[in-house]
Amino acid sequence: MLMTRSQSGPQACTPTAPYRTTGVTQRAQTEGSIPLSDTTGEPCLHDTPGTRDRMALIKAKPHSQRSRADMQCLFCQDNTLAAIYAKEEKRWSSNEIEYVQRSTGLVHTFSTLNEQEKRLYDELITQGEWSAARGLSSIALTRYASTGEVHLPSGLSFDPEKTDVTADSIRSHFRFALIDPSGSNARQLEALAQFLEQADRSTGSKT
Using CA atoms, how far residue 187 sits from 35, 132, 194, in Å, is: 47, 9, 10
Cα–Cα distance, 188 to 133 (Å, whole number): 8
Per domain, the residue ranges of the chain are 24-89, 109-205
Query: What's the confidence (pLDDT) of residue 84?
Result: 94
**How far apart are the C-alpha atoms of 45 and 72, rounded to whole Å?**
10
Q: Which helix (H) or strand (E) holds 27?
A: strand 24-28
Segment 137-161 mean pLDDT: 93
Confirm whether pTM is higher than 0.75. no
Q: What is the pLDDT of residues 19-34, one digit of tens each?
A: 333 332 222 222 232 3
First and final C-alpha spacing in the chain: 41
For residue 205, name the pLDDT band (cuts at 50, 70, 90): low
Rg (CA), the chain: 20
Give the mean pLDDT of 84-100.
94
Please tell me the distance from the alpha carbon of residue 34 to that of residue 173, in angstroms, as a whole number. Answer: 54
H helix intervals, 3-160: 49-60, 68-77, 79-85, 94-104, 115-126, 130-145
Q: pLDDT at position 191, please?
A: 98
CA distances in angstroms from 122 to 68, 94, 128, 200, listed in the order given: 31, 6, 10, 17
